[in-house]
Amino acid sequence: MIILGGVLLVLSVIIPALRLVDILPAWLWIDFVSYAMMVSGLFIGMMGIFSFAKASRDKHREERQFEQFLEDEDESKQ
């Protein structure tokens, strides 16, 4: 999702630049498509970043809990 969001954001910058140098025609629907790509790219990219951060946080939490369990088990044996 992060890559898709980044691609949409890059395309939302490239399309108006192509219009500026008269490679693409200056049609209003191109502006709307570019704006929609920018908003959706930002939203999808942020969702991807948040889901990646949550997965990473959960993974590290499980590792710490397992390490704490092993330490508690070793202490109870002594």
List pLDDT tens digits, range 7-38: 999 999 999 888 888 888 888 888 899 999 99
Mean pLDDT of 69-77: 76
Q: Three-state DSSP class for 26?
A: coil
The rounded mean pLDDT for the chain is 88
Specify the residue for token string 């395309």: 11
Q: Average of pLDDT values for 36-54?
A: 94
Say which residues have a Cβ less than 8 Å from residue 64's Cβ, sequence separation at least 6.
none
CA atoms of 62 and 60, how far apart (whole Å): 5
How confident is residue 78, by pLDDT bands cut at 50, 70 and 90?
A: low
Q: What is the largest CA-CA distance in the chain?
A: 78
- State yes or no: pLDDT of 57 exceeds 70: yes
User: Token digits for 45?
Assistant: 């990219």
